[in-house]
Amino acid sequence: MAIKVCKFGGTSMADGNVIKSVKNIIDGDMDRRFIIVSAPGKRYSGDIKVTDLLYDSYNALVSGGDFKKAFAAVKSRYVSIVKELNLDFDIDSVLEETEERIIKERSEDFTASRGEYLCARIVAGVLNAKFIDAENVIFFDENGALNGEKSYKAVAEAVKDAPRAVFPGFYGRGADGKVKTFSRGGSDISGAIVARAVHASMYENWTDVSGFLACDPRIVDSPRRIKSISYKELRELSYMGANVLHSESIFPVRRANIPINIKNTFRPGDEGTLILPTSRYTPCGNIVTGVAGKKNFTVIFIEKSLMNSEVGFIADVLNVLKKEGVPVEHIPSGIDTMSLVVESECLQGEKLNRVIEEIKQSVEPDVVRVIENIALIATVGHGMSSSVGTSSRLFSAIAAANINVKMIDQGSSEINIIVGVSNNDYEKCIKAIYREFFV
Summarize as ranges the residues that interact with ligand ASP (CB under 6 A): 10, 38-39, 49, 51, 115, 169-170, 184-187
Least distance between ligand ASP and beta carbon 158 (Å): 20
The Cα–Cα gap between 61 and 380 comes to 47
Q: Which is nearer to ligand ASP, 14 or 355 (CB)?
A: 14
Cβ-closest position to ligand ASP? 187
The Cα–Cα gap between 255 and 52 comes to 32
One-letter amino acid for residue 213 of the chain: L
Q: Which is nearer to ligand ASP, 10 or 283 (CB)?
A: 10
| CA nearest neighbour of 181 among 138, 226, 228 | 138
Q: Which is nearer to ligand ASP, 115 or 290 (CB)?
A: 115
| CA nearest neighbour of 437 among 213, 217, 214 | 214
Q: Which is nearer to ligand ASP, 146 or 302 (CB)?
A: 146
Which alpha helices (H) appear in 106-147, and where do they start and end? 108-127
- For residue 99, CA distances in Å to 62, 88, 104, 111, 118 come to 14, 21, 9, 9, 11
Enumerate residues 6+ apart whose C-beta is below 8 A from 180: 109, 140, 144, 171, 172, 173, 174
Q: How many residues in total does the chain contain?
A: 439
Q: Which is nearer to ligand ASP, 77 or 382 (CB)?
A: 77
**Cβ neighbours, 10 Å, residue 427:** 16
Least distance between ligand ASP and beta carbon 247 (Å): 13
Q: Which is nearer to ligand ASP, 49 or 235 (CB)?
A: 49
Q: Which is nearer to ligand ASP, 119 or 234 (CB)?
A: 119
Least distance between ligand ASP and beta carbon 190 (Å): 8
Least distance between ligand ASP and beta carbon 120 (Å): 12
426-438 and 390-400 helices, crossing angle to 10°: 130
Least distance between ligand ASP and beta carbon 412 (Å): 33
Least distance between ligand ASP and beta carbon 164 (Å): 21
Beta pairing, strands 337-343 & 273-276: unpaired
Q: Which is nearer to ligand ASP, 169 or 211 (CB)?
A: 169
DSSP single-letter state for residue 141: -
Least distance between ligand ASP and beta carbon 354 (Å): 35
The Cα–Cα gap between 332 and 406 comes to 11
Q: Which is nearer to ligand ASP, 75 or 431 (CB)?
A: 75
Enumerate residues 6+ apart whose C-beta is below 8 A from 309: none
Q: Which is nearer to ligand ASP, 118 or 317 (CB)?
A: 118
Q: What angle (nearest 5°) sits at the alpha carbon of residue 9, between those of residues 157 and 293?
A: 115
370: left (phi over 0), alpha (psi -120 to 50) or beta: beta
Least distance between ligand ASP and beta carbon 192 (Å): 12
Least distance between ligand ASP and beta carbon 39 (Å): 4
Enumerate residues 6+ apart whose C-beta is below 8 A from 45: none
Least distance between ligand ASP and beta carbon 187 (Å): 3
The Cα–Cα gap between 131 and 179 comes to 17
